[in-house]
Copies of this chain bind each other. A is one copy, B any other.
């Protein structure tokens, strides 16, 4: 069986230098305009924790900070369990790349909380918005030339698609869409992490205008365990995202991700830099 492109992008080698030190390589399959797709980078950061020999439990919270541009090529990851409690564990992760002088430079930082979940009273107060089934929603055309990562996903926008005319007439920042891997792959925490960052910059939709924009920091909360993700399998995920405010160079994006059956799998927030 051929390895899925996403698993190739996630592939890390655990080095012998020290516990929690991994090496990997950026994926041309998930390239964005001037660097790797941020969702893949976030997934790789999480992956170093999931592959760490000391891991306790499953991911609850992930914050990834995009500190600098990532060059095509090799990178190093250091995942460190800074605190292990009875049922929760706290992690820091750093991605570095060698600079022109060969010295490591930090490109990305992350913190991760993992935990052993227990059955408790549960309640979803954020029902999935009503929508036609995926088969009845048109699939988005492949993205702009050179943006490889978009082609790795099947996206079926229900509301708030990428504007077809950039005429400055935008009135809202809400997108809802069905999405899944273009080549089927069972949902897991890494995939859900990447999908949390699949929404194009809200400022483009709100203004129907393209301006330079890039995520600075993203935080994702996982509300599901591995069994619940397993139940989704290769099925669709509904994603919803909108901004609360745009102000002097930065805006936020709040997102929710549901299974097709309506389970709220993850909620995510990011702060995005924009120009003009």
Residues of A participating in the B interface, judged by any CB pair closer than 8 Å: 60-61, 63, 65, 67-68, 82-83, 85, 88, 90, 92, 94, 105-107, 109-111, 113, 115, 117-126, 172-173, 206-207, 216-217, 219, 221, 223-225, 242-250, 252, 254, 256, 264, 267, 269, 271, 273-276
Contact indicator B60/A83 (Cβ below 8 Å) = no
Known contacts being A83-B68, A106-B90, is A118 close to B246, with CB within 8 Å?
no
Closest 5 CB pairs of A and B: A67-B83, A67-B90, A126-B244, A63-B63, A61-B217
Contact indicator B83/A115 (Cβ below 8 Å) = no
Contact indicator A252/B221 (Cβ below 8 Å) = yes
Q: How far is the CB of A72 from chain B (nearest CB, A)?
A: 19
Report chain B residues within 8 Å CB of A113. Answer: 65, 216-217, 271
- Can you show 7 pairs from A to B with CB atoms below 8 A apart? A63-B111, A83-B107, A90-B106, A111-B217, A115-B250, A121-B276, A123-B206
Copies of this chain per assembly: 2
Report chain B residues within 8 Å CB of A273. Answer: 88, 115
Contact indicator A248/B90 (Cβ below 8 Å) = no
Contact indicator B173/A125 (Cβ below 8 Å) = yes
Contact indicator B126/A248 (Cβ below 8 Å) = no
Contact indicator A60/B121 (Cβ below 8 Å) = no
Q: How far is the CB of A270 from chain B (nearest CB, A)?
A: 9
Report chain B residues within 8 Å CB of A275. Answer: 120
Q: How far is the CA of A206 from the CA of B120 in the complex (A)?
A: 14
Contact indicator A65/B90 (Cβ below 8 Å) = yes
Nearest residue, chain B, Cβ from A217: B61
Q: How far is the CB of A30 from chain B (nearest CB, A)?
A: 22
Contact indicator A60/B250 (Cβ below 8 Å) = yes
Known contacts being A125-B206, A216-B61, is A264 close to B244, with CB within 8 Å?
yes
